[in-house]
């Protein structure tokens, strides 16, 4: 019998609670202490956790508009519009009615409703979506009252073994409280966001918990539940939450009126240290983030970061791998500097990197409509901001595929999101207009040069 491991994004509501309010971590010293109840924390936290309902219209098959097709297959006319619905959770983070949830809960939604713990429902608008963290921020419509909220914990203070509570709406059965401990920190290879730095917990989390709260013993938000690792589709004691410090950054962007999250731009590409590289560098173990590329004119270049530097810490926090650095750098506030320690030729060097956003020169994003191998693909000029967003080498010239519907001709011939189209029929591409013009001219044979994952591919397709 084949056992399939599945990483499941959770889509329903979740909330957390916990026992003692003491700041110090203690081991229960008596049976009486073991009988302590989570009820005080649950009662305090529960009103700030909500259910999120999203719905989107499913496009009708155009054949259904053909009377002959309907008569032949016996399909009745005036079919109602089909709606696809999803159910998730959210956390109230501002008393004015601001809710944070998972992006995958509301992705593509035409309608969003929020249900409070007291059963009241409100229409909500999507204020901000951030696919890089799988977070989204909603605002309740037409409200004047103040709502209970959850304060953010400093998730960097979380420790393995800390007790946490999750409250959610697993499988739609209603708000449910579970508890457990933090099983691990800085988990990577979860594969659902750009920032791989998750809190792992054994608190029971199931489909329907997406966007729900993970709270510590003080009743503060330590993370937003996002995914589980399961062979069965249900909880098997391995759940993942986005750390509160990352959630705080996304919420702050929404509060400031932004529709997109602004983050510091490093302008360098990092790679993991393998055992072989560690031995070459004279390290006792694989650790740190190795600089593989530095973009000219970027903050890292101006600070003096060089190729083959080994980043070992940022603002005094140890960097074990590139994921750790990416997370810590992305959670730094804009406008200041990050103090980065590197090893250069085995000697320590201190650098001060400015925390500023990447320049977003004109993307001129278009969809190729002419019949060609590129038809249906959405493409854009490469800017430092877009390169940072898609984790591309900004020094490469070409046009990047930013979106690709499944039914597009470009998808059928093999193009993928993130592909950089460098040249077509021997002509280099520097602007989206170049590709649009070539596509409209047509060709009996297409010779295409593409960079995918840092590798150059040469493809020949018929017209």
Q: Which residue has the higher pLDDT, 75 or 116?
A: 116
Altogether, the residues listed in the chain come to a count of 463
Active-site residues, by number, are 104, 134, 210
- Dihedral sign of CA atoms 187, 328, 276, 296 in order: positive
Scan for tokens 């977070």, then name that residue: 135
What is the token pair recorded at 316? Answer: 């005094």
Select from 3.30.2290.10, 2.40.10.120, 3.40.50.1860, 1.10.150.130 the CATH code of 40-73+81-260. Answer: 2.40.10.120
Distance of alpha carbon 395 from alpha carbon 294, whole angstroms: 9
pLDDT at 94 over 60: yes
Which positions make up the binding site for substrate?
Answer: 104, 134, 208-210
Distant-in-sequence, close-in-space partners of 153: CB < 8 Å, separation ≥ 6: 215, 216, 218, 220, 221, 222, 244
> What predicted TM-score, i.e. pTM, was given to this entire model?
0.79
Phi, psi of 285 (to 5 degrees): -155, 160
More confident residue, 237 or 434: 434
Cα–Cα–Cα angle for 278, 282, 287, rounded to 5 degrees: 40
Q: What is the residue-wise DSSP string for 389-456?
A: HHT--TTS-SEEEEE--TTSHHHHTT--TT-EEEEETTEE--SHHHHHHHHHH--SEEEEEEEETTEE
pLDDT digits (tens, 9 = 90+) for 244-277: 999 999 999 999 998 889 999 999 999 999 999 9
Q: What is the pLDDT of residue 22?
A: 44
Q: What mean pLDDT do residues 425-430 have?
A: 91
73 half-sphere exposure, CB direction, 13 A CA radius: 9
Q: Which helix (H) or strand (E) holds 39?
A: helix 39-45
In the chain, domain spans? 40-73+81-260, 268-355, 365-462
How many whole angstroms separate alpha carbon 143 and alpha carbon 88?
21
- Percent of the chain at pLDDT > 70 equals 85
The fold for domain 268-355 equals Pdz3 Domain (2.30.42)
pLDDT at 338 over 90: yes
Look up the CATH number of domain 365-462: 2.30.42.60
Element (H, E) at 241: strand 239-243
- 127 alpha-carbon distance from chain centroid: 16
Q: Which residue has the tokens 């602004």?
A: 262
Intrachain domains 40-73+81-260 and 268-355 with the same fold: no
The SS3 of residue 271 is strand
Reported confidence tier of residue 317, pLDDT bands at 50, 70, 90: very high
Q: From the annotation, which residues make up the binding site? A: 104, 134, 208-210
């Amino acid at each position: 019998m084949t056992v399939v491991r599945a990483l499941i994004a959770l889509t329903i509501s979740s909330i957390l609670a916990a026992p003692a309010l003491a700041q110090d971590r203690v081991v229960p010293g008596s049976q009486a202490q073991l009988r302590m109840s989570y009820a005080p924390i649950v009662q305090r936290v529960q009103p700030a956790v909500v259910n999120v309902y999203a719905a989107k219209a499913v496009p009708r098959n155009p054949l259904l508009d053909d009377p002959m097709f309907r008569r032949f297959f016996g399909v009745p006319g005036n079919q109602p519009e089909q709606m696809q619905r999803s159910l998730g959770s959210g956390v109230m983070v501002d008393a004015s009615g601001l809710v944070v949830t998972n992006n995958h809960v509301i992705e593509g939604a035409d309608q969003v409703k929020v249900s409070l713990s007291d059963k009241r429902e409100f229409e909500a608008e999507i204020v901000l979506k951030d696919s890089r963290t799988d977070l989204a921020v909603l605002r309740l419509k037409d409200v004047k009252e103040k709502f209970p909220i959850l304060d953010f914990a400093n998730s960097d203070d979380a420790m393995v073994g800390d007790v946490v509570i999750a409250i959610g709406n697993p499988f739609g059965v209603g708000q449910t409280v579970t508890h457990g401990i933090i099983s691990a920190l800085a988990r990577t290879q979860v594969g659902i966001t750009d920032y791989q730095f998750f809190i792992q917990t054994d608190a029971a989390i199931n489909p329907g918990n997406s966007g729900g709260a993970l709270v510590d013993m003080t009743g503060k938000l330590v993370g937003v539940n996002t995914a589980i690792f399961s062979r069965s589709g249900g909880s098997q004691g391995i759940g993942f939450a986005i750390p509160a410090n990352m959630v705080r950054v996304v919420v702050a962007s929404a509060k400031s009126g932004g529709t997109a999250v602004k983050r510091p731009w490093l302008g360098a590409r990092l790679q993991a240290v393998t055992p072989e590289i560690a031995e070459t560098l004279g390290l006792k173990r694989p650790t740190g983030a190795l600089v593989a590329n530095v973009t000219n004119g970027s903050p890292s270049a101006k600070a003096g970061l060089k190729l083959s530097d080994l980043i070992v810490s940022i603002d005094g926090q140890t960097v074990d791998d590139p994921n750790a650095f990416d997370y810590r750098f992305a959670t730094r506030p804009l406008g200041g500097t990050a103090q980065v320690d590197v090893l250069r030729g085995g000697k320590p060097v201190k650098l001060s990197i400015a925390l500023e956003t990447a320049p977003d020169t004109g993307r001129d994003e278009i969809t190729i409509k002419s019949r060609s191998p590129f038809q249906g693909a959405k493409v854009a000029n490469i800017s430092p901001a877009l390169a940072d967003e898609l984790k591309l080498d900004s020094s490469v010239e070409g046009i990047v595929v930013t979106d690709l519907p499944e039914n597009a001709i470009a998808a059928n011939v093999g193009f993928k999101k993130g592909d950089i189209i460098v040249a077509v029929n021997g002509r280099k591409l520097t602007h989206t207009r170049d590709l649009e013009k070539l596509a409209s001219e047509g060709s009996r044979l297409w010779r295409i040069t593409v960079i995918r994952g840092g590798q150059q591919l040469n493809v020949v397709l018929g017209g």
